[in-house]
Amino acid sequence: QLQLQESGPGLVQPSETLSLTCTVSGGSISDTTYYWDWIRRPPGKGLEWIGSIYYSGNTHYSPSLKSRVTISVDTSKNQFSLKLNSLTASDTAVYYCARTRSFYERALDYWGQGTLVTVSS
């Protein structure tokens, strides 16, 4: 059974950079079938798509975050990562990693449990 697990700091200072990692188990991140996504949900708000990466390193980003976000993949560790810089309080959210159903069918069928990130001094 595929599992995804987010890890990273729960509290980050404003203006700093958030680094989160998603570890994939029960499957290979190098599987050519899938894309791997990051999504967040700020408190009291809805889901926001952050971006997506393929095992080859090909990425797509939300235009609203593109200037501040980098998603990378480490196939040797079966992980992919999110970096978001210049943090403000509005970046406080539960951050999720997820897998697409397939290369062409990009609905998200497996999700991590999510990790709460609070941006505060």
Contact residues toward other proteins (CB under 8 A) are: 37, 39, 41, 46-49, 52, 60-63, 96, 100-101, 105-109, 111-114
- Nearer to other proteins among residue 79 and residue 100 (C-beta): 100
State the Cα torsion 116-95-21-78 to the nearest 10°.
130
Closest approach, Cβ 76 to other proteins, in A, equals 26
Closest approach, Cβ 84 to other proteins, in A, equals 16
Closest approach, Cβ 60 to other proteins, in A, equals 4
Neighbours of 70 (CB within 10 A): 16
The alpha-helical segments, DSSP class H, found in the chain are none
Biggest alpha carbon–alpha carbon distance for the chain: 42
